[in-house]
Amino acid sequence: MLQRDADGATTPALKIRLGDYQAPTWRIAGVELVFDLDIASTEVYARLELESADATPAPLRLDGEGLELIELRLDGKRLGPADYHVDVHALQLSKLPARCVLESRVRIRPQANTALEGLYLSGSAERGFLLTQCEAQGFRHITYFLDRPDVLTRYSVELRADAARFPVLLAGGNAAGSGALVDGRHWARFDDPHPKPAYLFALVAGRLQCIEQPYTTAEGRAVTLKLWAEADAIAQCQYALGALQHAMRWDERVYGRNYDLDVFHVVATHDFNMGAMENKGLNIFNAKYLLADADATTDEGFRAVEAVVAHEYFHNWSGNRVTCRDWFQLSLKEGFTVFREQSFSADMHAHALKRIEDVATLRRAQFPEDAGPLAHPVRPAEYAEINNFYTATVY
Protein backbone atom coordinates (compact mmCIF):
# COMPACT_ATOMS: atom_id res chain seq x y z
CA MET A 1 0.00 0.00 0.00
CA LEU A 2 1.01 3.65 -0.32
CA GLN A 3 0.61 6.64 1.94
CA ARG A 4 0.89 10.31 1.09
CA ASP A 5 3.44 12.70 2.55
CA ALA A 6 2.44 16.17 3.68
CA ASP A 7 3.43 17.49 0.24
CA GLY A 8 1.20 14.96 -1.49
CA ALA A 9 3.93 12.60 -2.68
CA THR A 10 3.33 8.87 -2.31
CA THR A 11 5.77 6.69 -0.40
CA PRO A 12 5.63 3.07 0.74
CA ALA A 13 3.84 2.72 4.07
CA LEU A 14 6.19 2.11 6.99
CA LYS A 15 6.01 -1.43 8.33
CA ILE A 16 5.58 -2.16 12.02
CA ARG A 17 7.78 -5.07 13.09
CA LEU A 18 7.35 -7.40 16.04
CA GLY A 19 11.06 -7.31 16.79
CA ASP A 20 11.03 -3.52 17.15
CA TYR A 21 8.77 -3.50 20.22
CA GLN A 22 9.84 -1.17 23.02
CA ALA A 23 8.03 -0.72 26.31
CA PRO A 24 6.38 2.69 26.78
CA THR A 25 8.65 5.35 28.27
CA TRP A 26 5.65 7.15 29.79
CA ARG A 27 2.62 5.95 31.72
CA ILE A 28 -0.74 7.66 32.22
CA ALA A 29 -1.85 7.36 35.85
CA GLY A 30 -5.31 8.75 35.09
CA VAL A 31 -7.19 10.62 32.39
CA GLU A 32 -10.10 13.03 32.54
CA LEU A 33 -12.01 13.73 29.33
CA VAL A 34 -14.71 16.34 28.72
CA PHE A 35 -16.62 16.35 25.43
CA ASP A 36 -18.70 19.31 24.23
CA LEU A 37 -20.60 17.29 21.66
CA ASP A 38 -21.92 18.60 18.38
CA ILE A 39 -22.32 16.89 15.03
CA ALA A 40 -20.35 19.46 13.05
CA SER A 41 -17.72 20.42 15.63
CA THR A 42 -16.87 18.78 18.96
CA GLU A 43 -14.36 20.10 21.48
CA VAL A 44 -12.44 17.58 23.57
CA TYR A 45 -10.63 18.51 26.79
CA ALA A 46 -8.11 15.96 28.07
CA ARG A 47 -6.20 16.01 31.34
CA LEU A 48 -3.42 13.41 31.46
CA GLU A 49 -1.57 12.55 34.66
CA LEU A 50 1.79 11.53 33.23
CA GLU A 51 4.55 9.50 34.88
CA SER A 52 7.93 8.76 33.35
CA ALA A 53 8.92 5.09 33.32
CA ASP A 54 12.57 6.08 33.81
CA ALA A 55 14.38 8.33 36.27
CA THR A 56 15.49 10.49 33.35
CA PRO A 57 12.34 11.29 31.37
CA ALA A 58 12.43 10.61 27.65
CA PRO A 59 10.73 12.95 25.16
CA LEU A 60 6.96 12.44 25.10
CA ARG A 61 5.25 11.53 21.84
CA LEU A 62 1.43 11.45 21.85
CA ASP A 63 -0.45 10.01 18.89
CA GLY A 64 -2.95 12.34 17.24
CA GLU A 65 -4.41 12.58 13.74
CA GLY A 66 -6.99 14.92 12.27
CA LEU A 67 -7.02 17.12 15.39
CA GLU A 68 -7.17 20.90 15.58
CA LEU A 69 -5.13 21.89 18.63
CA ILE A 70 -6.75 24.79 20.49
CA GLU A 71 -4.79 24.90 23.74
CA LEU A 72 -2.02 23.03 25.54
CA ARG A 73 -1.01 23.40 29.21
CA LEU A 74 1.74 21.75 31.25
CA ASP A 75 1.20 21.81 35.02
CA GLY A 76 -1.21 24.69 34.54
CA LYS A 77 1.11 26.80 32.36
CA ARG A 78 -0.08 27.54 28.85
CA LEU A 79 2.40 26.42 26.20
CA GLY A 80 3.21 28.26 23.00
CA PRO A 81 4.14 26.78 19.59
CA ALA A 82 7.84 26.97 20.51
CA ASP A 83 7.29 24.60 23.46
CA TYR A 84 6.16 21.60 21.43
CA HIS A 85 6.16 20.07 17.97
CA VAL A 86 2.99 18.92 16.25
CA ASP A 87 2.58 17.24 12.87
CA VAL A 88 -0.12 15.18 11.13
CA HIS A 89 0.65 12.11 13.25
CA ALA A 90 1.73 13.24 16.71
CA LEU A 91 2.34 15.86 19.38
CA GLN A 92 5.86 15.85 20.83
CA LEU A 93 7.28 17.50 23.93
CA SER A 94 10.73 17.27 25.53
CA LYS A 95 12.38 18.24 28.82
CA LEU A 96 9.38 17.23 30.92
CA PRO A 97 9.48 16.54 34.66
CA ALA A 98 9.14 12.90 35.73
CA ARG A 99 5.58 13.58 36.91
CA CYS A 100 3.39 16.19 35.29
CA VAL A 101 -0.13 17.04 34.18
CA LEU A 102 -0.72 17.77 30.51
CA GLU A 103 -3.99 19.43 29.52
CA SER A 104 -5.10 19.76 25.93
CA ARG A 105 -8.13 21.09 24.12
CA VAL A 106 -8.75 20.00 20.55
CA ARG A 107 -11.52 20.28 17.97
CA ILE A 108 -12.76 17.36 15.89
CA ARG A 109 -15.50 17.12 13.25
CA PRO A 110 -17.65 13.99 13.61
CA GLN A 111 -19.93 14.63 10.62
CA ALA A 112 -16.94 14.96 8.30
CA ASN A 113 -15.33 11.79 9.67
CA THR A 114 -16.02 9.29 6.89
CA ALA A 115 -13.24 6.92 8.00
CA LEU A 116 -15.53 5.72 10.83
CA GLU A 117 -12.58 5.76 13.26
CA GLY A 118 -12.70 7.86 16.40
CA LEU A 119 -15.92 9.86 16.92
CA TYR A 120 -18.33 9.91 13.97
CA LEU A 121 -21.97 10.38 13.01
CA SER A 122 -24.11 7.29 12.48
CA GLY A 123 -27.07 8.11 10.25
CA SER A 124 -28.36 11.46 9.04
CA ALA A 125 -27.54 14.84 10.55
CA GLU A 126 -31.18 15.25 11.62
CA ARG A 127 -31.83 11.82 13.14
CA GLY A 128 -28.47 10.06 13.56
CA PHE A 129 -26.35 9.73 16.69
CA LEU A 130 -22.70 10.09 17.60
CA LEU A 131 -20.58 7.08 18.50
CA THR A 132 -16.97 5.93 18.57
CA GLN A 133 -14.84 3.14 17.16
CA CYS A 134 -11.33 3.06 18.61
CA GLU A 135 -9.92 -0.39 17.83
CA ALA A 136 -7.27 -0.59 16.71
CA GLN A 137 -5.96 2.99 16.49
CA GLY A 138 -9.05 5.18 16.47
CA PHE A 139 -8.52 7.02 19.74
CA ARG A 140 -5.80 9.16 18.18
CA HIS A 141 -8.59 10.73 16.09
CA ILE A 142 -10.24 11.97 19.33
CA THR A 143 -7.37 13.54 21.30
CA TYR A 144 -3.61 13.36 21.76
CA PHE A 145 -2.79 10.17 23.64
CA LEU A 146 -0.52 7.14 24.01
CA ASP A 147 -2.67 5.11 21.63
CA ARG A 148 -1.19 1.65 22.21
CA PRO A 149 -2.65 -1.38 24.02
CA ASP A 150 0.12 -1.65 26.64
CA VAL A 151 -0.76 1.75 28.14
CA LEU A 152 -3.68 1.24 30.53
CA THR A 153 -5.29 3.92 32.66
CA ARG A 154 -8.50 4.79 34.49
CA TYR A 155 -10.95 7.01 32.62
CA SER A 156 -13.24 9.70 33.97
CA VAL A 157 -15.47 11.03 31.19
CA GLU A 158 -17.96 13.90 31.09
CA LEU A 159 -20.27 14.38 28.10
CA ARG A 160 -22.06 17.66 27.41
CA ALA A 161 -24.61 18.16 24.65
CA ASP A 162 -27.92 19.69 23.61
CA ALA A 163 -30.58 17.83 25.60
CA ALA A 164 -33.15 17.80 22.79
CA ARG A 165 -30.76 16.58 20.10
CA PHE A 166 -28.79 14.20 22.33
CA PRO A 167 -31.10 13.10 25.17
CA VAL A 168 -29.07 9.92 25.77
CA LEU A 169 -25.40 10.25 26.80
CA LEU A 170 -23.38 7.07 27.37
CA ALA A 171 -19.74 6.22 28.06
CA GLY A 172 -17.92 3.21 29.47
CA GLY A 173 -17.83 2.81 33.25
CA ASN A 174 -20.26 3.50 36.07
CA ALA A 175 -22.58 6.50 36.06
CA ALA A 176 -21.13 9.22 38.31
CA GLY A 177 -23.63 12.04 37.95
CA SER A 178 -25.77 13.98 35.49
CA GLY A 179 -27.67 17.23 35.32
CA ALA A 180 -28.84 20.26 33.38
CA LEU A 181 -26.72 23.06 31.95
CA VAL A 182 -27.72 26.44 30.58
CA ASP A 183 -29.17 26.95 27.08
CA GLY A 184 -30.97 23.60 26.99
CA ARG A 185 -27.82 21.52 27.38
CA HIS A 186 -27.13 18.70 29.83
CA TRP A 187 -24.23 16.61 31.08
CA ALA A 188 -23.45 13.09 32.24
CA ARG A 189 -20.33 11.70 33.89
CA PHE A 190 -18.91 8.17 33.88
CA ASP A 191 -16.01 6.72 35.86
CA ASP A 192 -14.36 3.42 35.00
CA PRO A 193 -12.46 2.01 38.01
CA HIS A 194 -10.63 -0.56 35.88
CA PRO A 195 -7.52 0.45 33.88
CA LYS A 196 -7.97 -0.06 30.14
CA PRO A 197 -6.17 0.80 26.90
CA ALA A 198 -7.40 3.58 24.63
CA TYR A 199 -8.89 1.18 22.06
CA LEU A 200 -11.59 0.22 24.59
CA PHE A 201 -12.86 3.77 25.10
CA ALA A 202 -16.39 4.44 23.87
CA LEU A 203 -19.15 7.02 23.91
CA VAL A 204 -22.61 7.22 22.36
CA ALA A 205 -24.92 10.24 22.19
CA GLY A 206 -28.29 10.62 20.49
CA ARG A 207 -31.97 9.75 20.42
CA LEU A 208 -32.12 6.13 21.48
CA GLN A 209 -34.59 3.92 23.28
CA CYS A 210 -33.74 1.25 25.81
CA ILE A 211 -34.87 -2.08 27.18
CA GLU A 212 -33.28 -3.21 30.43
CA GLN A 213 -33.10 -6.12 32.81
CA PRO A 214 -31.68 -6.47 36.34
CA TYR A 215 -29.04 -9.15 36.78
CA THR A 216 -27.28 -10.47 39.87
CA THR A 217 -23.85 -12.04 39.40
CA ALA A 218 -22.74 -15.23 41.13
CA GLU A 219 -20.79 -13.00 43.53
CA GLY A 220 -23.97 -11.10 44.44
CA ARG A 221 -23.30 -7.90 42.48
CA ALA A 222 -26.42 -6.12 41.24
CA VAL A 223 -26.03 -5.15 37.57
CA THR A 224 -28.39 -3.43 35.15
CA LEU A 225 -28.27 -4.70 31.56
CA LYS A 226 -29.33 -2.07 29.01
CA LEU A 227 -29.76 -2.54 25.26
CA TRP A 228 -30.13 0.63 23.18
CA ALA A 229 -31.39 1.14 19.65
CA GLU A 230 -33.35 3.60 17.57
CA ALA A 231 -37.12 3.58 18.01
CA ASP A 232 -37.83 1.44 14.93
CA ALA A 233 -35.44 -1.30 16.09
CA ILE A 234 -35.73 -1.51 19.87
CA ALA A 235 -38.46 -4.18 19.76
CA GLN A 236 -36.01 -6.52 18.04
CA CYS A 237 -33.47 -6.40 20.91
CA GLN A 238 -35.29 -8.69 23.33
CA TYR A 239 -33.63 -11.89 22.11
CA ALA A 240 -30.17 -10.36 22.43
CA LEU A 241 -30.95 -9.33 26.01
CA GLY A 242 -31.75 -12.92 26.88
CA ALA A 243 -28.63 -14.17 25.09
CA LEU A 244 -26.51 -11.75 27.11
CA GLN A 245 -27.84 -13.14 30.38
CA HIS A 246 -27.11 -16.70 29.24
CA ALA A 247 -23.55 -15.72 28.31
CA MET A 248 -22.93 -14.02 31.65
CA ARG A 249 -24.20 -17.02 33.61
CA TRP A 250 -22.15 -19.42 31.46
CA ASP A 251 -18.94 -17.42 32.01
CA GLU A 252 -19.54 -17.48 35.76
CA ARG A 253 -20.09 -21.23 35.78
CA VAL A 254 -17.38 -22.34 33.34
CA TYR A 255 -14.61 -19.78 33.85
CA GLY A 256 -15.49 -18.24 37.21
CA ARG A 257 -15.58 -14.76 35.62
CA ASN A 258 -18.13 -12.27 36.99
CA TYR A 259 -19.07 -8.91 35.50
CA ASP A 260 -17.33 -6.05 37.28
CA LEU A 261 -19.33 -2.84 36.69
CA ASP A 262 -22.76 -1.64 37.83
CA VAL A 263 -24.22 -1.43 34.33
CA PHE A 264 -23.61 -3.09 30.97
CA HIS A 265 -24.67 -1.13 27.88
CA VAL A 266 -25.12 -2.56 24.39
CA VAL A 267 -25.93 -0.23 21.46
CA ALA A 268 -27.14 -1.17 17.96
CA THR A 269 -26.26 0.95 14.93
CA HIS A 270 -26.74 0.47 11.19
CA ASP A 271 -23.49 2.35 10.42
CA PHE A 272 -20.59 0.42 11.89
CA ASN A 273 -17.35 -0.69 10.28
CA MET A 274 -17.07 -3.87 12.37
CA GLY A 275 -19.51 -6.59 13.33
CA ALA A 276 -19.36 -5.56 16.97
CA MET A 277 -16.95 -3.97 19.44
CA GLU A 278 -16.25 -4.97 23.03
CA ASN A 279 -15.65 -1.50 24.52
CA LYS A 280 -15.48 -1.82 28.30
CA GLY A 281 -19.03 -1.54 29.66
CA LEU A 282 -20.41 -0.15 26.37
CA ASN A 283 -20.52 -2.67 23.54
CA ILE A 284 -21.44 -1.29 20.11
CA PHE A 285 -22.95 -3.61 17.50
CA ASN A 286 -23.75 -3.52 13.85
CA ALA A 287 -27.53 -3.95 13.98
CA LYS A 288 -27.21 -7.09 11.85
CA TYR A 289 -25.68 -8.90 14.83
CA LEU A 290 -28.03 -7.64 17.54
CA LEU A 291 -31.55 -7.43 16.11
CA ALA A 292 -33.70 -10.55 15.83
CA ASP A 293 -37.37 -10.99 14.96
CA ALA A 294 -39.31 -14.26 15.08
CA ASP A 295 -41.15 -13.29 11.88
CA ALA A 296 -38.01 -12.63 9.83
CA THR A 297 -34.91 -14.13 11.48
CA THR A 298 -33.82 -17.67 10.62
CA ASP A 299 -32.58 -20.22 13.14
CA GLU A 300 -29.07 -19.54 11.89
CA GLY A 301 -29.65 -15.82 12.41
CA PHE A 302 -30.74 -16.35 16.01
CA ARG A 303 -27.65 -18.45 16.70
CA ALA A 304 -25.45 -15.77 15.13
CA VAL A 305 -26.92 -13.05 17.37
CA GLU A 306 -26.42 -15.26 20.42
CA ALA A 307 -22.82 -16.05 19.45
CA VAL A 308 -21.77 -12.46 18.73
CA VAL A 309 -23.42 -11.12 21.89
CA ALA A 310 -21.56 -13.78 23.87
CA HIS A 311 -18.26 -13.13 22.07
CA GLU A 312 -18.27 -9.43 22.88
CA TYR A 313 -19.30 -10.04 26.49
CA PHE A 314 -16.57 -12.67 26.97
CA HIS A 315 -14.03 -10.03 25.92
CA ASN A 316 -14.72 -8.30 29.24
CA TRP A 317 -12.09 -10.62 30.68
CA SER A 318 -10.31 -12.13 27.66
CA GLY A 319 -9.25 -8.88 26.03
CA ASN A 320 -10.37 -6.04 28.30
CA ARG A 321 -9.25 -6.84 31.85
CA VAL A 322 -6.46 -9.01 30.42
CA THR A 323 -5.34 -7.27 27.24
CA CYS A 324 -2.59 -7.31 24.61
CA ARG A 325 0.96 -6.03 24.88
CA ASP A 326 0.85 -4.99 21.22
CA TRP A 327 -1.23 -5.78 18.15
CA PHE A 328 0.97 -8.75 17.28
CA GLN A 329 -0.79 -10.45 20.21
CA LEU A 330 -4.22 -9.90 18.65
CA SER A 331 -4.90 -13.63 18.40
CA LEU A 332 -4.39 -14.02 22.15
CA LYS A 333 -7.56 -12.04 22.76
CA GLU A 334 -9.51 -12.86 19.60
CA GLY A 335 -8.57 -16.50 19.10
CA PHE A 336 -9.15 -17.31 22.76
CA THR A 337 -12.45 -15.44 22.82
CA VAL A 338 -13.59 -17.23 19.65
CA PHE A 339 -12.83 -20.51 21.45
CA ARG A 340 -14.90 -19.37 24.44
CA GLU A 341 -17.73 -18.30 22.13
CA GLN A 342 -17.68 -21.66 20.31
CA SER A 343 -17.72 -23.57 23.62
CA PHE A 344 -20.67 -21.50 24.81
CA SER A 345 -22.62 -22.06 21.58
CA ALA A 346 -21.95 -25.80 21.77
CA ASP A 347 -23.28 -25.92 25.34
CA MET A 348 -26.37 -23.89 24.37
CA HIS A 349 -27.23 -26.16 21.42
CA ALA A 350 -25.50 -29.31 20.16
CA HIS A 351 -21.77 -29.99 20.31
CA ALA A 352 -21.72 -32.05 17.12
CA LEU A 353 -23.66 -29.43 15.15
CA LYS A 354 -21.39 -26.65 16.39
CA ARG A 355 -18.26 -28.58 15.45
CA ILE A 356 -19.59 -29.15 11.94
CA GLU A 357 -20.35 -25.43 11.59
CA ASP A 358 -16.88 -24.45 12.82
CA VAL A 359 -15.12 -26.82 10.42
CA ALA A 360 -17.29 -25.55 7.56
CA THR A 361 -16.21 -22.00 8.42
CA LEU A 362 -12.56 -23.05 8.41
CA ARG A 363 -12.95 -24.65 4.98
CA ARG A 364 -14.85 -21.68 3.58
CA ALA A 365 -12.71 -18.83 4.98
CA GLN A 366 -9.44 -19.85 6.62
CA PHE A 367 -8.28 -22.71 4.39
CA PRO A 368 -8.49 -20.64 1.16
CA GLU A 369 -6.72 -17.75 2.91
CA ASP A 370 -3.97 -20.08 4.09
CA ALA A 371 -3.57 -21.62 0.63
CA GLY A 372 -3.53 -18.34 -1.28
CA PRO A 373 -1.33 -15.28 -1.75
CA LEU A 374 -2.62 -13.74 1.52
CA ALA A 375 -1.35 -16.63 3.66
CA HIS A 376 0.28 -15.54 6.91
CA PRO A 377 1.07 -16.95 10.36
CA VAL A 378 -1.21 -16.45 13.35
CA ARG A 379 1.33 -13.93 14.62
CA PRO A 380 2.89 -12.22 11.59
CA ALA A 381 6.33 -10.69 12.01
CA GLU A 382 5.27 -7.33 10.55
CA TYR A 383 2.36 -5.33 9.17
CA ALA A 384 1.87 -2.09 7.26
CA GLU A 385 -1.82 -1.49 8.08
CA ILE A 386 -3.19 -2.79 11.37
CA ASN A 387 -6.77 -2.99 10.07
CA ASN A 388 -5.61 -5.70 7.64
CA PHE A 389 -4.58 -7.79 10.66
CA TYR A 390 -8.16 -8.89 11.40
CA THR A 391 -8.23 -12.07 9.34
CA ALA A 392 -9.70 -15.56 9.49
CA THR A 393 -6.24 -16.91 10.36
CA VAL A 394 -5.67 -14.53 13.29
CA TYR A 395 -9.17 -15.20 14.63
Question: For residue 102, what are the contacts with CB-CB under 8 A and spacing of at least 6?
Answer: 47, 48, 50, 60, 72, 73, 74, 93
Show which residues are catalytic.
312
Alpha helices in 273-375 (DSSP H): 299-314, 330-348, 351-361, 367-371
Of 338, 334, 312, 317, the C-alpha closest to 390 is 334
Q: 261, 190, 208, 264: which is closest to 34 by C-alpha?
A: 190
Residues 6+ apart with CB under 8 A from 95: none
Give the neighbor-by-neighbor strand order of the sheet with 26-36: 77-78, 68-74, 99-108, 42-52, 26-36, 153-162, 185-196, 174-180
Check if the beta carbon of residue 303 is closer than 8 Å to that of residue 162: no
Distance of alpha carbon 97 from alpha carbon 149, whole angstroms: 24
**Do the strands 85-86 and 2-4 form a parallel or antiparallel pair, or are they unpaired?**
unpaired
Alpha helices by DSSP H, listed for the chain, are: 238-255, 299-314, 330-348, 351-361, 367-371
Contact (CB, 8 A) for 228 and 210: yes
